[in-house]
Amino acid sequence: MLKDLAKPVMYLKGVGEARSRLYEKLGVFTVYDLLYHFPRYYIDLGEYVSLAAAPLNENCVVKCRVVRKMQAARIRKGLVVYKAVITDDTGDATLMVYNTGYVFQSLEIGKEYYFVGKLSGNLLRKEISSPQIYPVEGTSPVQPVYSLTEGLTQKMLRQNVRSALEIFNSSIYEPLPKDIMRDNGLCSLEYALQNIHFPVDSHTCSIAKQRLVFDELLTLQLGMLMLKKRSREISGCKMGPQDMEEFYSSLPFELTGCQRAAIEDCIRDMQEQSPMNRLIQGDVGSGKTAVAAGAAYFAFKNGCQTALMAPTEILADQHYETLRGFLEGLGAKVVLLTGSMTAKQKRLAKEGIENGEFSVIVGTHALVQKDTVFRKLGLVITDEQHRFGVEQRAMLAQKGDGPHKLVMSATPIPRTLALMIYGDLDISVLSELPKGRMPVETYAVAGSVRERAFGYVRKYLDEGRQAYIVCPMIEDSDSELKSVKEYAENMKKGPFKEYRVGLLHGRLSSAEKESIMARFKAHEIDLLVSTTVVEVGVDVPNAAVMVIENSDRFGLSQLHQLRGRVGRGKYKSCCILITDNPTEEVKKRLRVLSGTNDGFAISQEDLKLRGPGDFFGSRQHGLPKLKIADMTEDLEILHKAQDTARELMSKDPQLDSSEHKGLKEMTELLFEENVSDN
Ligand code: ADP
Ligand code: MG
């Protein structure tokens, strides 16, 4: 990078120690950072309105002459008001500025200015107080507005950005190779930075934005692809072909075509010299566990161990049971390893893992990773990996001696986004559900019909089914925990007096959680009141009805996940979304769920409604924070950037050629910042 750009902002004229500390609050440390501190929006002074037509108490721009300046008046100690009369021939108004005498002094009588602010008063006597003021002469009509922190003003920002641009423009710096700029119709970086900050009009601004969005998405994709390459280089456990027939025919059901294909993808990958790095993406209930079992069986036949890591003990437990069912009849011994086991149980398990007695080890993330010694670990499977970030995956890849890796995610996301977010993985999609599944009928209802909903639930229970009631609970809030407990008590005493009611929440010890889940599975509990701990993966096919309280507090994708706990067996299932806050917007959101059971469609809708920031939360996906690109809106540029990245990687995988030096730097910078963010 240009040396001068890496200098601290203090290097700029007018920026001293105090101001540079304010800049730090905005995450701006260097001249470069300031150049990439883009405006939040722009004011278009060209869209001024006449004083006569200007709305009251709303932000607007007026273009007026200064007619007369009045005497300054001291209102009270420390507060001086300067007044002037301004006009645009459709009317006039009183301008008021407080304390900033120099601003007032600089106004010239008879000269025209843009005033940006709110008019107050009434139609006869209008006032505008502390507006932003720009002389009409010599001012570009489009003005940037930055996010600030106390002590910084728009004017300071603009001045400092100008000097940063001067430094930038004084040398020729262009990280993108010419042909890439040409092929994608992009302007130069110099033009882009100039016009993102100080556009002449909205057209130049959008040209600038395209270039910067492209840069950001390109570097992001390059970073992901380089990560993928890096994990490719570690040599893994190359496996040999095996007969899978015994596995397929021993299953209690016939695999869907997608499940079959996904297993075959894994088998193919595991016969390569470099480790598999694959994501299984499938909607809730699409049967990801069976795919995991297939891959584990293949590893077993190759004399290798498989570790399956789950995010919670409940899930670890469940996977343990399931895999035992699938695999033990075929000779592969399965063992569970979780924190709530006794010291002796753990020791026995670990001994068996070390001496190779166990072929499949199921546990929580922490345990399987820690001091467990494997005899020959060939495959690591992680369930619900969307909770872990890119860096964690990269770290895992650097551990061990390069076992094959399989990741299972139940958050269906559009393919382009998947390519970005999981750009370091290959993807198999389970796009169909097992045969005979009936869609979960979903109703959004107001709290006033709660009693009727409970009646409906009782009907299911009387037919021998089981039910969930989910209450949202913000993690670790005592008052909310109390209310969930009370709620469960009320259910026990009231509408579900005749039934066996259990309560599951995150604050229970693992042993308690386990025992409740086990009792629910064994149908010793009819109705399980639960917080969102049931969200991920829990599989009890006899549960056919779910009520979700305060459903407006959940995102659509999360509701879809929750709802996925029912409709997993052969019974017709139903989900009732209760809301005490039935605004139009809430109803509209919830109606998406009544309308479809397709997780992909739902996540797309969720993305549209909430934006990717909220949807994933940058922590969750572990991607760098994007400054300007929006992966859901800038789709066209996203495609171009992805194509370009792929082409670059095939030509120059390490970006080592001198032509790509700038790009490599930009890529490293993006990922470096991300690491220090977390
Ligand atoms: P998820 O993809 O949500 O993790 P699971 O692996 O838990 O789904 O599977 C959901 C349920 O569907 C389980 O009860 C499982 O036994 C069953 N199942 C999986 N594959 C099939 C299939 N091909 N046919 C019928 N049932 C299946
Ligand atoms: Mg699952």
Of ligand 1's listed atoms, the one at least distance from the Cα of 288 is 2
Q: At what angle do helices 313-327 and 510-521 cross, to 10 degrees?
A: 50
Place of tokens 């009387």: 462
Residue nearest to atom 19 of ligand 1 (CA): 287
Q: Which tens digits make up the pLDDT trace of 206-252?
A: 999 999 999 999 998 888 888 777 666 666 788 999 999 999 999 99
Q: How high does pLDDT run on average in the chain?
A: 86
Neighbours of 350 (CB within 10 A): 19
Of ligand 1's listed atoms, the one at least distance from the Cα of 291 is 6
Instruction: Give 108 Cα–ligand 1 centroid separation in angstroms.
Output: 77
Per-residue pLDDT at 617: 43
Tokens linked to 16: 């001293």
Per-residue pLDDT at 90: 92
Separation between Cα atoms, residue 499 and residue 625, nearest integer Å: 49
521 CB near ligand 1 (under 6 Å): no
Q: At what angle do helices 288-301 and 257-270 cross, to 10 degrees?
A: 30
Q: Which tens digits make up the pLDDT trace of 344-383?
A: 999 999 999 999 999 999 998 777 766 788 888 999 998 8
Instruction: Give 521 Cα–ligand 1 centroid separation in angstroms.
Output: 16
For 108, phi then psi, to 5°, come to: -110, 135
Give 277's pLDDT tier (boundaries 50, 70, 90): confident
Tokens linked to 14: 């007018």
Give 86's pLDDT tier (boundaries 50, 70, 90): very high
Q: Count helices and strands (H / E) in the chain.
A: 24, 22
* Ligand nearest, relative to CA of residue 382: 2
263, 280, 289, 535: residue to mutate for ligand 1 pocket, most atoms within 8 A of CB: 289
Q: Which tens digits make up the pLDDT trace of 16-54?
A: 999 999 999 999 999 999 999 999 999 889 889 999 999
563 CB near ligand 1 (under 6 Å): no
175 CB near ligand 1 (under 6 Å): no
Partners of 528 in beta bridges: 468, 502
Per-residue pLDDT at 619: 40
Residue 611 predicted with pLDDT over 60: no
Residue 675 predicted with pLDDT over 90: no
Residue nearest to atom 5 of ligand 1 (CA): 287
Of 127-136, 187-196, 406-415, 459-468, which range is least confident? 406-415
Per-residue pLDDT at 396: 52
Of ligand 1's listed atoms, the one at least distance from the Cα of 569 is 14
Per-residue pLDDT at 531: 87
410 CB near ligand 1 (under 6 Å): yes
Q: For CA atoms 170, 175, 178, 181, give the dihedral sign.
A: negative
Separation between Cα atoms, residue 237 and residue 272, nearest integer Å: 8
**Helix, strand, coil percentages for the chain (3-state, nearest 5):** 45, 20, 35
Instruction: Give 285 Cα–ligand 1 centroid separation in angstroms.
Output: 5
Instruction: Give 659 Cα–ligand 2 centroid separation in angstroms.
Output: 46
Q: Is the Cβ–Cβ distance between 302 and 450 less than 8 Å?
A: no
DSSP H helical segments within 364-477, as ranges?
365-369, 390-398, 415-421, 450-462
Q: What is the average pLDDT across 9-13?
A: 92
- Written as one letter, the residue type at 58 is E
Instruction: Give 412 Cα–ligand 1 centroid separation in angstroms.
Output: 16
Of 346-360, 489-503, 657-671, which range is least confident? 657-671
Per-residue pLDDT at 557: 81
Instruction: Give 267 Cα–ligand 1 centroid separation in angstroms.
Output: 20
What are 204-213's contacts with CB under 8 Å, separation 24+? 205/42, 205/142, 209/628, 210/185, 210/186, 210/637, 211/186, 211/187, 212/38, 212/628, 212/629, 213/628, 213/629, 213/630, 213/634, 213/637
Residue 35 half-sphere exposure toward CB, CA atoms < 13 A: 26
288 CB near ligand 1 (under 6 Å): yes
Q: Is the Cβ–Cβ distance between 628 and 38 less than 8 Å?
A: yes
Instruction: Give 550 Cα–ligand 1 centroid separation in angstroms.
Output: 29
Separation between Cα atoms, residue 206 and residue 199, nearest integer Å: 9
Q: What is the average pLDDT across 341-346?
A: 90
Separation between Cα atoms, residue 630 and residue 636, nearest integer Å: 11
E strands present in 322-416: 334-337, 360-364, 377-383, 404-409
Instruction: Give 255 Cα–ligand 1 centroid separation in angstroms.
Output: 9
Q: Is the Cβ–Cβ distance between 558 and 541 less than 8 Å?
A: no
In 3D, which of 644, 453, 468 has the Cα closest to residue 539?
468
Q: Which tens digits make up the pLDDT trace of 497-524?
A: 999 999 998 888 878 888 898 899 999 9
570 CB near ligand 1 (under 6 Å): no
Separation between Cα atoms, residue 458 and residue 464, nearest integer Å: 10
Could you tell me whether strands 574-579 and 543-548 are parallel, antiparallel, or unpaired per DSSP bridges?
A: parallel
Query: DSSP string of 15-32?
Result: --HHHHHHHHHTT--BHH
Percent of the chain with pLDDT over 70: 89
Partners of 281 in beta bridges: 409, 429
In this predicted model, which residue has the larger pLDDT, 141 or 370?
141
Per-residue pLDDT at 158: 93
Separation between Cα atoms, residue 432 and residue 285, nearest integer Å: 10
Of 92-96, 467-471, 626-630, which range is least confident? 626-630
Per-residue pLDDT at 78: 83
Per-residue pLDDT at 283: 82
Q: If 0-12 CB within 10 Å is exposed, 13-18 middle and 19+ buried, where does residue 642 land?
A: buried
Of 272-276, 290-294, 450-454, 614-618, which range is least confident? 614-618
Q: What is the pTM of this model?
A: 0.69
442 CB near ligand 1 (under 6 Å): no
The CA-CA-CA angle for residues 183, 187, 189, to 5°, reads: 120
Tokens linked to 643: 């194509």
Query: What DSSP element (H or E) covers 599?
Result: helix 599-616
Separation between Cα atoms, residue 135 and residue 64, nearest integer Å: 10
282 CB near ligand 1 (under 6 Å): yes
Instruction: Give 386 Cα–ligand 1 centroid separation in angstroms.
Output: 19
Q: Which tens digits make up the pLDDT trace of 553-601?
A: 888 888 888 898 898 888 899 999 999 888 888 888 888 888 888 887 8
Instruction: Give 565 Cα–ligand 1 centroid separation in angstroms.
Output: 11
428, 539, 571: residue to mutate for ligand 1 pocket, most atoms within 8 A of CB: 539
Of ligand 1's listed atoms, the one at least distance from the Cα of 289 is 6
Q: Which tens digits make up the pLDDT trace of 448-477?
A: 999 999 999 999 999 999 999 998 776 567
Q: Which tens digits make up the pLDDT trace of 429-442?
A: 888 888 878 889 99
Which domains does the chain carry? Answer: 42-145 (2.40.50.140), 245-430 (3.40.50.300), 441-596 (3.40.50.300)
Cα first-last separation, the chain = 24
Query: DSSP string of 261-329?
Result: HHHHHHHHHHTSSSPPEEEEEE-TTS-HHHHHHHHHHHHHHTT-EEEEEESSHHHHHHHHHHHHHHHGG
286 CB near ligand 1 (under 6 Å): yes
Per-residue pLDDT at 677: 36
Per-residue pLDDT at 676: 37
Of ligand 1's listed atoms, the one at least distance from the Cα of 568 is 11
Separation between Cα atoms, residue 494 and residue 551, nearest integer Å: 22
Tokens linked to 394: 């990269």
551 CB near ligand 1 (under 6 Å): no
Instruction: Give 9 Cα–ligand 2 centroid separation in angstroms.
Output: 50
434 CB near ligand 1 (under 6 Å): yes
In this predicted model, which residue has the larger pLDDT, 440 or 671?
440
